[in-house]
Amino acid sequence: MQACELHFRIMPPGLMAEVGWNGRKDKEFLGDAERAFDVFVTIDRKIAFENDLPRF
């Protein structure tokens, strides 16, 4: 068992298309991502500037 498994609920990582969010706008999936995942990782450098992230 990896160390992160001791601290976080384990959920397989998924790409936008794999979890059915492909083509959705940021504001449409951020709430869903907050409910579905403990950690959200993105390569979108502008997401913090384009959205009100403290709200999520």
Going residue by residue through the chain, which has 56 residues, state the pLDDT in tens, using 9 for 90 and above.
455 544 555 556 677 888 888 888 888 888 888 888 777 788 888 888 888 877 65
Task: Report if residue 47 sits inside a domain.
Answer: yes
Q: The tokens 């999520």 sit on which residue? A: 56
Look at residues 8, 11, 34 and name the one whose alpha carbon lies nearest to residue 21.
Answer: 34
What gap in Å lies between CA 29 and CA 15, rounded to an integer?
12
pLDDT given for residue 25 in this prediction: 85
Task: Report if residue 38 sits inside a domain.
Answer: yes
The count of structural domains within the chain is 1
Task: Report if residue 28 sits inside a domain.
Answer: yes
Contact 39, 8 (CB under 8 A): yes
Q: Helices (H), strands (E): how many in the chain? A: 3, 0
pLDDT given for residue 6 in this prediction: 47
Domain that includes residue 16, residue range: 11-55
